[in-house]
Chains A and B, each alone.
Chain A
Amino acid sequence: MSRLTALVLSAAGLGAVYAAPYVLPSFVISLITLVFISGLVAMSINLLAGEAGLVSIGHAGIAAAASYGIAWATLNGMGVGSRVLLALGLALVVSAVFGLTTMYTRGIVYLMISLALGMVAYGLALRLSGLTGGQNGLTGIVRPDFVDLWWQFYFFTAAIFVLALLAIWVMRRSPFGLTLRAVRDSETRAASLGYSVAATKFIATMLSGLLAGIAGVLAVWNSEFISPAAASFARSAMAVVMVILGGTGTLFGPLAGAAVVVGAEHWLSSYVERWPTLLGLAFIAVVIFMPKGLIGQLPRRLRPETDRPQKPAESIEPEATTHTSA
């Protein structure tokens, strides 16, 4: 894709995002808001899965930590700034636990530890009923005034999403992004070049956790309610499904995946009773026929430049194919 097309497309995209609330009904806008929020969680998983080769199926736990943080802080009458700080701080603490326990692992071990930690987060949300309200969850959480109205919240979420997208884009082009890919492609080689593999993974987990935390805050502001379902395995798994649907390691993949999954769960389910079957079949179809995902499989000239495999990684492209379908 040439620079000009890229510019034109991004301008068109931003224009569409800006114009949406003027032309679409509020319910559709609330769905799009949800797509952005789910997209952020998927993006945080994609950051680890695509760049560092670490697939986490416990990320809902991190997002939920931030959600409970903001819920608790709101109900205890803290100011907006300190609420957000507390929530993100909590998400970072949980991410640190994820990072410290997993930084020496990869592959299936990483997967299992992330699953276990996610389940711990779920268990805590369920059991610490004094703080979390247990299964009943916490009600009475209201959004701060500046995002009180649905369209304000939509613009806010969209802005955060675009910023996150830019941040990921910058990160991928930074030396740190290169280091991450080096670690992903060969830990031994990265280590022999003098990089600390564990530290790199830890930092990546923290960055990813921060993103998930931001998504967690937005999720609570969206639903004004939080319950252990937010930390459930189903949530984590759905986020991974979004990543794979959209295309692991692509910039816009998580958004595309989130659109499909949220569309099925929240919209299609109103019209088709067997929507889980359809979603499952769509997932299988994508994995078989489009192993690089909806975005990853786009024709080259339509694919955003950054989503193309980087030059040094070109040699492993066939492997990337096998990897995603495995």
Chain B
Amino acid sequence: MQKTGYAANNVPRTEVPTQGKELMLKRNNRPIRGFTLSLLLAVVALVAAACGTPGDDGAATTATTSAAAPDTTAAATPDTTTGGTETTEPATDSTAAAGDGTVTVGFISPTTGFVAALGTDMQRGWEMYWEQNGDTAGGVTVETVFEDDAGDPEIALTKARRLVEEEQVDIVAGPILANTAYAVAEYVAGQGIPTLHITAADDLTQREADPHVLRVGYTSSQTNFPAGQWAFEQDHQTAVTLCPDYAFGWESCGGFVSAFTESGGEVVEQIWHPLGTQDFSTYVTQIQSTAPDVVFIGSAGGSDAIQLFQAWSDFGMAGTIPMIGNCCFADQVFLREVGAEAMGAVKSFTYWVEGRDSEEVQAFVSAYEDAHGEIPSLYAAGSYMMARVVAEALATTGGQVNGSEFIDAARGVSLDNSLYGPLEFDDYNNVVGPVYVTDIVEREDGTLWAVVDETFEDVSQFWNKSPEEYMENPVFTRDYQGN
């Protein structure tokens, strides 16, 4: 294309001499180029190695990875030499070789790419549990192999395959995005290997529930049912919702809208914004002109949440119309950026509250702050909880990991107190636990954090319906918001 013009212009004039020179240059330069290239690559390799990982994360990663590597070739060859048998029979439960006293967990999270921050937090939370509690549970040693999925389902799937086929892991934990989680869960569960998640995608433990899949977290809509009911109880008759226009937003809004309208409220407008919106001012003016009693935000956090709130307060709306956020709107990233303006302007409905008055939570927060210099996010707490559930389930099974039996044991885990509070699992492998209404306040040292204002106990992913009744309806989408 560009070439066309270029060639047409130049062909008549300098064609032959240029070519001659070009060839000569090339011949003369080749050895030097080759040398420079290898030099450059060497430098690159050195730089990459040197700045490899901040802290000890990387060291741990490489250590476990290489430690687990030796037995891969031996294990993989028998199947392949025949060239005709399948590696694993699908859907038959795998039995962990607990004889050697180790259980290997493959941990997949996005430590590069556009959600790298979440993946890093997840790794830290996971590691922190085993550091604090020792890496033995139920008489076996728990080893972890970390993998990066870059937030891409195809890469996540390759990593899951590597973990299953090469590392022979007994359990897979991890992917945070809905699509990476679904892709991995489908493959791993199909191999009969238990898998744990904290991803929020509703259907993972609803219409697509699998006996090998457990979620140690809440669904996107789960925390927002109480929000809908609570908003109406506060005498808010009308509401506007503002959620990102993809599955997580649809499901978050769906929870609020269905419970709010069921209670008797009216949702006057539902605004959907594209992921990665820079300018929220049009949405804010839209809300301003509608003047609802309350506005609900179902955000996945990050820059969207910050931009949204800044537009909101630029228009002088902060503190005028009450604002309710979901789990992930007013998180620590948000608070660090927005600052004191958020105080009193937003209430969140969530399950991870860093300022909750509980020994367990505060011990975790201070240990995490000591190690990483920041208050742990929901993703760090969630991964810590995943590790805890794995440990508790291993204790129940005596270190055995037998496919869905392990998940049955994990589902039987019932905690009186945990980072989430008292916790149980339902028959569909999802958490039944408290949802907290939070306020933003200043900690003694001046850091902003969330504290509990009210608590809804034992909130189920099916809210006030039976699972069967609930799942007769489709999953929440833009077009179906539960009414």
Q: Is A305 part of the binding interface, using a Cβ–Cβ cutoff of 8 Å?
A: no
Cβ-neighbour of B3 out of A34, A150, A319 (below 8 A): A319
Q: Is A30 part of the binding interface, using a Cβ–Cβ cutoff of 8 Å?
A: yes
Q: How far is the CA of A165 from the CA of B80 in the complex (A)?
A: 27
Shortest beta-carbon distance, A205 to chain B, in Å?
14
Q: A229-B152, A273-B112 are in contact. Are A285 and B41 (CB under 8 A)?
A: yes
Known: A107-B1, A150-B87, A270-B162; 8 extra A-B contacts, CB below 8 A, are A30-B165, A134-B246, A136-B247, A139-B186, A185-B3, A186-B7, A223-B153, A323-B2
Q: Is B40 part of the binding interface, using a Cβ–Cβ cutoff of 8 Å?
A: yes
Chain A residue numbers with a CB within 8 Å of B398 are: none
Chain A residue numbers with a CB within 8 Å of B48 are: 272, 274, 277-278
Q: How far is the CA of A149 from the CA of B86 in the complex (A)?
A: 6
CB interface residues, A 98-157, toward B, < 8 Å: 106-108, 110-111, 126-127, 129-130, 134-137, 139-140, 149-151
Chain A residue numbers with a CB within 8 Å of B397 are: none
Q: Is A289 part of the binding interface, using a Cβ–Cβ cutoff of 8 Å?
A: yes
- Report the interface size for chain B: residues with CB under 8 A from the other chain: 73
Main secondary structure of the interface of A (DSSP, over half): helix
Contact present for B247 and A129 (CB under 8 Å):
yes
CB interface residues, B 468-483, toward A, < 8 Å: 477-479
Contact present for B80 and A24 (CB under 8 Å):
yes
Chain B residue numbers with a CB within 8 Å of A272 are: 48, 52
Q: Is A2 part of the binding interface, using a Cβ–Cβ cutoff of 8 Å?
A: no
Q: A223-B157, A225-B157, A315-B11 are in contact. Are A25 and B77 (CB under 8 A)?
A: yes
Chain A residue numbers with a CB within 8 Å of B478 are: 127, 129
Q: How far is the CA of A320 from the CA of B246 in the complex (A)?
A: 43
Q: Is A318 part of the binding interface, using a Cβ–Cβ cutoff of 8 Å?
A: yes
B54 (CB) vs chain A CBs: closest residue: A273
Cβ-neighbour of A266 out of B77, B155, B246 (below 8 A): B155
Q: A139-B182, A150-B87, A271-B62 are in contact. Are A318 and B18 (CB under 8 A)?
A: yes
Q: Is B321 part of the binding interface, using a Cβ–Cβ cutoff of 8 Å?
A: no
Shortest beta-carbon distance, B238 to chain A, in Å?
27
Chain A residue numbers with a CB within 8 Å of B3 are: 53, 184-185, 316, 319-320, 323
Chain A residue numbers with a CB within 8 Å of B72 are: 25
What 4 A-B pairs have minimum CB-CB distances, sorted nearest first? A25-B76, A227-B179, A135-B247, A107-B1
Q: Is B208 part of the binding interface, using a Cβ–Cβ cutoff of 8 Å?
A: yes
Contact present for B201 and A136 (CB under 8 Å):
yes
Contact present for B4 and A185 (CB under 8 Å):
yes
Q: Which of B51, B86, B147 has the most CB atoms of chain A within a 10 A radius of its CB?
A: B86
Cβ-neighbour of A271 out of B10, B65, B76, B113 (below 8 A): B65
Q: A269-B155, A270-B159 are in contact. Are A25 and B166 (CB under 8 A)?
A: yes
Residues of chain B having any CB pair with chain A under 8 Å: 1-8, 10-11, 15, 18-19, 22, 33, 36-37, 40-41, 44, 48, 51-53, 58, 61-62, 65, 72-73, 76-77, 79-81, 83-84, 86-87, 111-113, 147-148, 150, 152-155, 157-159, 161-162, 165-166, 178-179, 182-183, 186-187, 201, 203, 208, 245-248, 250, 477-479
Chain B residue numbers with a CB within 8 Å of A130 are: 477, 479
Contact present for A22 and B65 (CB under 8 Å):
no
Chain A residue numbers with a CB within 8 Å of B79 are: 26
Q: A135-B247, A225-B182 are in contact. Are A184 and B83 (CB under 8 A)?
A: no
Q: A23-B80, A136-B247, A227-B182 are in contact. Are A319 and B10 (CB under 8 A)?
A: yes
Q: A26-B76, A275-B112, A323-B2 are in contact. Are A134 and B247 (CB under 8 A)?
A: yes
Chain A residue numbers with a CB within 8 Å of B246 are: 126, 134-135
Chain B residue numbers with a CB within 8 Å of A319 are: 3, 6-7, 10
Q: How far is the CA of A116 from the CA of B248 in the complex (A)?
A: 25
Q: A22-B81, A271-B62, A319-B3 are in contact. Are A31 and B158 (CB under 8 A)?
A: yes
Shortest beta-carbon distance, A238 to chain B, in Å?
10
Q: How far is the CA of A27 from the CA of B158 in the complex (A)?
A: 8
15 contacts between A and B (CB under 8 A): A26-B165, A30-B158, A53-B3, A149-B86, A150-B86, A186-B4, A223-B183, A225-B187, A269-B147, A270-B162, A272-B48, A273-B111, A277-B48, A317-B22, A319-B10
Q: A27-B162, A137-B182 are in contact. Are A265 and B36 (CB under 8 A)?
A: no
Contact present for A322 and B6 (CB under 8 Å):
yes
CB interface residues, A 42-69, toward B, < 8 Å: 53-55
